Structure 1
């Protein structure tokens, strides 16, 4: 019997890039078979149904996009 232990993932940074297009990554998909994939918000949404089938964990930080947009709007006032 094999036991897999997942350690908490560190927050994604601007250096983390989408494996599909190279844009900033906001999703980290830890695969059930091992390894991980990084996706921008666009590609994360596009591939979400397939990713859910093969993922052990999905770290979704797309909420940061909305928070950043809201903060910028508040500064304009």
Structure 2
């Protein structure tokens, strides 16, 4: 038997929060079903205490919210 590990790709602007439709920055994989949920930073924080213990993976990219975009040089 071979076990394959699939790594989740970085979240993109096409990934949307399941609660409000904003850009998702957190991917949660539920341990019981393997189901995947996507959340914006706000909603991820609001469900973290409940869902984190039930998840097999908590992929958090909210640090990208504080990154500064490069300034174009003329």
TM-score, scaled to structure 2: 0.83
Show the counterpart of 2:53: 53
Identify if the C-alpha distance between structure 1 residues 5 and 53 changes in structure 2 by more than 3 Å, giving closer, same or farther. farther
Provide the rounded CA distance (Å) in 2 between the counterparts of 1:20 and 1:61: 17
1:13 aligns with 2:41: no
* Post-superposition offset of 1:71: 3.4
Greater fraction of residues in helix: 1
Provide the rounded CA distance (Å) in 2 between the counterparts of 1:24 and 1:55: 21
Map residues 1-77 of structure 1 onto 2, 5 A cutoff: 6-33=5-32, 34-67=34-67, 70-71=68-69, 75=71
Corresponding residue SS for 1:7: coil
Structure 1 unaligned spans of 5+: none
Give per-residue Cα distances to partners, 1:20-60, cap 9 Å, x unaligned.
00000000001102110000000001111011121001000
Superposition CA RMSD, Å: 2.0
User: How many residues of Structure 1 are paired with residues of Structure 2 in the alignment?
Assistant: 69
Moved segments of 4+, more than 3 Å: none
* Post-superposition offset of 1:6: 4.4
